[in-house]
Amino acid sequence: EKNHNVIFENSIEASKVVAQEIAELIRSKQVKNKTCVLGLATGSSPIKVYEELVRMHKEEDLSFHNVVSFNLDEYYPMTKENRQSYHYFMHQYLFNHIDIKPENVNIPDGTVAIEDLNQYCVDYELKIKEAGGLDFQLLGIGRTGHVGFNEPGSHINSGTRIITLDHITRVDASSDFNGIDNVPTRAITMGVSTILRSKRIVLMAWGQNKAAIIKRTIQGEITSEVPATFLQNHSNATFVLDQFSASEL
C-alpha cells in the first residue's frame, strides 16, 4: 500500500481498472457480511467508472445491497430535480441502474435552509463516522486543484461545510449551466480532512487540460493553495491518469 501514479493509454482502460477495484472491494465486504462505504464524485471524470459498474451489475451479478454511499458535494442552493444538481447526476449515471438501497444513498442536500446548514454539515460528517468511515473515495480534480469543492485556501483540517466557488470553477461549469451567471456561487462539500480519513483514495484525471494541475498536485509543494496536494501525504492514494493528463510529469 503506497501512494503512486498509474498512467493509462486512455480513460476507458483506466476507468475499467478503477471500477474493477471498487467491485472487488464491494464483493470482499459481502463475503464478510460487512457494508462497503463508498465516497463518490461527480463531474465528467467518473462517468465511465459508473458505466462500467452498471455493466457489472447487469452482466456479472455485482450487487450493491451492502453499499453505503456518500457523495462529496452539491451546489448550494440547488434542488434535487434540477438537471444540473449532483443529485440528478448520480441517479442518472449510477443509482437508477443498480440495486443500492435508497436509504443508503447520501448526497449533500442543496435545499437545506441557510440557518440549518452548519448543523446539517456536522450531521453529514457524523453519518460517515457512524457508517464506519469511508472505505474508498473516488475523486476528480478541478483546474483550481480542488477535490470535492475544496477550493484554494481550504485547510487540511476542514470538514464538511459550505464554501464559495472559485471563479475558474464557475467558468468551467458555465457550459453546463448555460452561462456563468447561472452557476451557483456556493456549494456544500466534504472537507479535506473528511477525504483524507478515507482508507483508500483514487483520484482520476483525463485530458491535456488537467496536465498542469496534475503536475502541481503530484510534484508541487504541499499547500492549501492547491488542496489536492494534501493527498501526497495519504498512505494509500493513487493518481489514475491518461497519457494526456500525465504529459507534464
Task: Give the residue numbers marked as catalytic.
Answer: 151
Q: Which phi and psi angles does 169 have, rounded to 5°?
A: -65, -40
> Pick from 41, 49, 62, 218: which binds ligand GLP (CB under 6 A)?
41
Interface with ligand GLP, residue 227, by CB under 6 A:
no
> Pick from 43, 145, 191, 227: which binds ligand GLP (CB under 6 A)?
43
> Pick from 70, 93, 149, 230: which binds ligand GLP (CB under 6 A)?
149
Least Cβ distance, residue 131 to ligand GLP (angstroms): 20
Nearer to ligand GLP, 44 or 118 (CB): 44
Least Cβ distance, residue 30 to ligand GLP (angstroms): 28
Bridge-based pairing of strands 237-242 and 201-205 is parallel
How many CA atoms lie less than 13 Å away from 223 in the CB half-sphere? Answer: 10
**Count of residues engaged in binding ligand GLP, rule: CB under 6 A:** 13
Cα Rg for the chain, rounded, in angstroms?
17
Residue 5 cell numbers, joined: 501514479
* Contact map string, positions 161 to 200, toward ligand GLP, x by CB under 6 A: --------x-------------------------------
35-43, 120-128, 130-138, 221-229 -> range binding ligand GLP (CB under 6 A): 35-43
> Pick from 15, 45, 137, 158: which binds ligand GLP (CB under 6 A)?
45
Strand ranges for 123-217 from DSSP E? 136-139, 161-164, 186-189, 201-205
Interface with ligand GLP, residue 108, by CB under 6 A:
no
Q: Which phi and psi angles does 142 have, rounded to 5°?
A: -90, 165
> Pick from 28, 44, 119, 185: which binds ligand GLP (CB under 6 A)?
44
DSSP element (H, E) containing 84: none
Query: 146: helix, coil or strand?
Result: coil
CA-CA distances (angstroms) from residue 153 to 39, 144, 169, 189, 247? Answer: 22, 11, 14, 14, 27
Q: Which phi and psi angles does 202 have, rounded to 5°?
A: -125, 120
Interface with ligand GLP, residue 208, by CB under 6 A:
no
Nearer to ligand GLP, 43 or 110 (CB): 43
* Contact map string, positions 47 to 86, toward ligand GLP, x by CB under 6 A: -------------------------xx-------------
Q: What long-range pairs does 29-34 form, CB within 8 A, spacing at least 24?
A: 29/66, 29/135, 30/63, 30/66, 33/66, 34/66
Report the interface residues with ligand GLP, using CB under 6 A: 41-45, 72-73, 140-142, 148-149, 169
